[in-house]
Structure 1
């Protein structure tokens, strides 16, 4: 792994871990974006995704568990995509979204695709070496 990729991977690990901790420390913002169509309590989804983020960050930070971390990050990002989409839809539909908020959503949702591809590459890189 190049130093650029190493920095990107450790940044991803730190960001996921920090966001995961925030799910517990400040749950309201995270719970507010959970689509109401999901069954069960928003607290369950919030704490589950927060714990998943912390574990994924730890997996990514350790070279020996990085492939599992990549796969976990890909699954996590796919799992939370509906909440991110719901947040964008809700903010834009309300008509009260600021220009900054509109730009944030316009950048954030598509940006998740290359992040997901990078997560997959962390998984696939190790498995390609085994063949």
Structure 2
């Protein structure tokens, strides 16, 4: 399978794994939900897990790939405040945890670019 065909499936797999993690280990996600959001952090954890699973399904299907990949890029931008919150909250944790939290911040950029690339390639295959 050429790399261009694997890329959307890898992105879908990443989103599916992250979405499933929201249900199997929700406490870790609850802790990074920005306090400014209304309602329960668990509600936001489950909602973002559902969103990731839906994005994964949309990217996996060639017919909806371009639209879902654009939505995934927007989603990655939208969850950035939670990653900032995690980095701030974890600033006094042991170095490996602090480093992991900080590493998530620049990781959003390649995720957004990856999703945009999948969207561009998906538009040409309709």
TM-score by length of 1: 0.84
Asked if residue 56 in structure 1 is aligned to residue 55 in structure 2, the reply is yes
Specify whether residues 69 and 29 from structure 1 end up closer, same or farther in structure 2 by C-alpha distance, changes over 3 A only. same
Alignment correspondent of 1:108: 104
Can you give the 5+ residue segments of structure 1 that lack an aligned partner in the other structure?
none
The CA distance in 1 between the partners of 2:59 and 2:122, in whole Å, is 13
Cα deviation, residue 111, structure 1: 1.6
Asked if residue 17 in structure 1 is aligned to residue 12 in structure 2, the reply is no
Query: After the TM superposition, which segments of 4 or more aligned residues of structure 1 sit over 6 Å from their partners?
Result: none
**What does 1:1-131 correspond to in 2, within 5 Å?**
3-92=2-91, 95=92, 97-127=93-123, 129=124
* More helix per residue: 1
Cα deviation, residue 75, structure 1: 1.6
* Matched residue SS, 2:64: helix
Cα deviation, residue 60, structure 1: 1.0
Specify whether residues 125 and 4 from structure 1 end up closer, same or farther in structure 2 by C-alpha distance, changes over 3 A only. closer
Number of residue pairs the alignment of both structures matches: 125
Specify whether residues 113 and 38 from structure 1 end up closer, same or farther in structure 2 by C-alpha distance, changes over 3 A only. same
TM-score by length of 2: 0.87
**CA RMSD, aligned part only?**
1.9
The CA distance in 1 between the partners of 2:5 and 2:106, in whole Å, is 23
* Matched residue SS, 1:64: coil
